[in-house]
Amino acid sequence: MPEAPTSSTSVAAYIFLSPYLILLSVFTIFAVLYGLFLSFFTVDIGISAPVFVGFRNYVTLWNQLFYSGGVGDFWIAMLNGLKFAVVVVSGQTALALLLALLLHRITFLKGVFRTIFYLPAVTSSIAISLIFIWLYTPQGFINYWLSLLHISGPRWLEDPATALFAIMLLNIWTTAPTFMLFFLGALEGIPQQFYEAAVVDGGNRSRIFWHITLPLLRPIIFLVVALGTISSFQVFDQVKIMTEGGPLQSTLTPVYEMYTTAFGDDKFGLAAAMSVLLFLIIFAITSLQRRFIDTDLQY
């Protein structure tokens, strides 16, 4: 029975909360609103004062859709972001779920496997990127291993056709372990009675998986897909250190484009407008995902 709020409790609670609330309000809530506000201005650093321009930044981005030689950089970046999200989210979700299901079956050496699988997720994206620049060189280890399977490897990061895919693979490798732990936690949380009831009813392995396990995992699948989508659209570190958006803009991602627009071209207002559009697109996609992965399942 929860007691009614008393004023001394409220005061104590807000004292406990104050550092968090202050930082959250300033660096997240205010920052989001300030970003929205900035998108209606031209802003540069140290040259002139901000000027209100209405929707001009948005119009500029809209017009980039109809350049004579194809779409402008921002939309190339958005398209790359979309490709990246589709491949990485499906790859990491499937791999994470597979690893979790495999680990959930075993007891012997389970802890060892889990620990080692998590290694790629612990390591810094910069160190990993430096390591993979070397592994991806045309005469590097990855192509050597492929040659053992009689596959002649591509020039990975140097070829516009494969550079984005190379970064996608790297990303799946580093993000799947975290989501594996999400799934493992969820699998361990499924009450044993469900399985017992299914076995009594004569359900076989695959039926149990499709009709019991998978539906019960829906909320966590949505969480993984949503978090994966959000992080796919913000990939930046690997692009900055491995390819700088190239070759031929094949790895230009939305956040990298925002970064160069703001800090390279000194157009902070335009970059803020890009971030607002990016936010709206991500929000729309995750809302759609929520509708398709029906999460209103309670047990």
Partner 1 sequence: MAQTQVQVPAKMTLFHRKRRFRLLDIITYLLLGVFLCTSLAPFIFSFFSSFKTFAHILDYPPSLFPNPWTWGNYATILRNGNFPRWLLNSFIFAGGTMIFNVLFSSMAGYALARMRFSGRRLIFLTTLAVMLIPLPITMIPKFLMVSSLGLVNTYFALLLPFMAQPFSVFIMVQFFKSLPREMEEAALIDGASYYRTFFQIILPLVKPALIAVAILSFQGAWNEFSWSLLVLNSPDMYTLPIGLLFFKGAHYTEYNLLLAGSMFNTIPLLVLFFILQRYFIRGIATVGLKG
Helix (H) or strand (E) holding 162: none
| Angle value at C-alpha 55, between 53 and 61, nearest 5 degrees | 110
Token couple for 170: 């790297």
Contact 179, 118 (CB under 8 A): no
Residue owning tokens 């979790």: 100
- Judged by CB under 8 A, how many residues of this single chain contact partner 1? 99
Q: Is the dihedral of CA 224, 229, 82, 294 positive or negative?
A: positive
Q: Which of 89, 97, 167, 220 binds partner 1 (CB under 8 A)?
A: 220
Residue owning tokens 């104590």: 12
Backbone phi and psi for residue 41, each to the nearest 5 degrees, phi listed first? -125, 160
Nearest distance, CB of residue 187 and partner 1, angstroms: 8
Please report whether residue 199 would count as binding partner 1 according to CB under 8 A: no
- Alpha-carbon Rg for the chain in angstroms: 24
Residues 228-287 that bind partner 1 (CB under 8 A): 230-231, 233-234, 236-237, 240-241, 255, 258-259, 262-263, 268, 271-272, 275-276, 278-279, 282, 286
Residue type present at position 238: Q
Please report whether residue 293 would count as binding partner 1 according to CB under 8 A: no
The residue among 33 and 66 lying less far from partner 1, judged by its C-beta, is 33
Please report whether residue 2 would count as binding partner 1 according to CB under 8 A: yes
Binding mask 109-138 for partner 1 (x = CB under 8 A): ----xxxxxxxx-xxxxxxx-xxxxxx-x-
Torsion, Cα of 98, 101, 107, 110 (10° steps): 40
Helices H / strands E in the chain, number of each = 14, 2
Please report whether residue 47 would count as binding partner 1 according to CB under 8 A: no
Please report whether residue 26 would count as binding partner 1 according to CB under 8 A: yes
Token couple for 60: 């500029």
Nearest distance, CB of residue 29 and partner 1, angstroms: 8
Residues 137-176 that bind partner 1 (CB under 8 A): 137, 139-141, 144, 173
Only one of the segments 64-72, 149-157, 183-191, 194-202 lies at the binding site for partner 1 (rule: CB under 8 A); that segment is 183-191
Only one of the segments 71-79, 96-104, 151-159, 207-215 lies at the binding site for partner 1 (rule: CB under 8 A); that segment is 96-104
Please report whether residue 61 would count as binding partner 1 according to CB under 8 A: no
Q: Which of 70, 185, 191, 264 binds partner 1 (CB under 8 A)?
A: 185
Please report whether residue 216 would count as binding partner 1 according to CB under 8 A: no
CA 278 to chain centre: 13
Q: How far apart are CA 141 and CA 203, in angstroms?
A: 46
Q: Which of 77, 164, 168, 186 binds partner 1 (CB under 8 A)?
A: 186
The residue among 27 and 67 lying less far from partner 1, judged by its C-beta, is 27
Please report whether residue 197 would count as binding partner 1 according to CB under 8 A: no
Contact 180, 117 (CB under 8 A): yes
Q: Which of 76, 97, 99, 157 binds partner 1 (CB under 8 A)?
A: 99
Q: How far apart are CA 39 and CA 267, in angstroms?
A: 10
Nearest distance, CB of residue 245 and partner 1, angstroms: 15
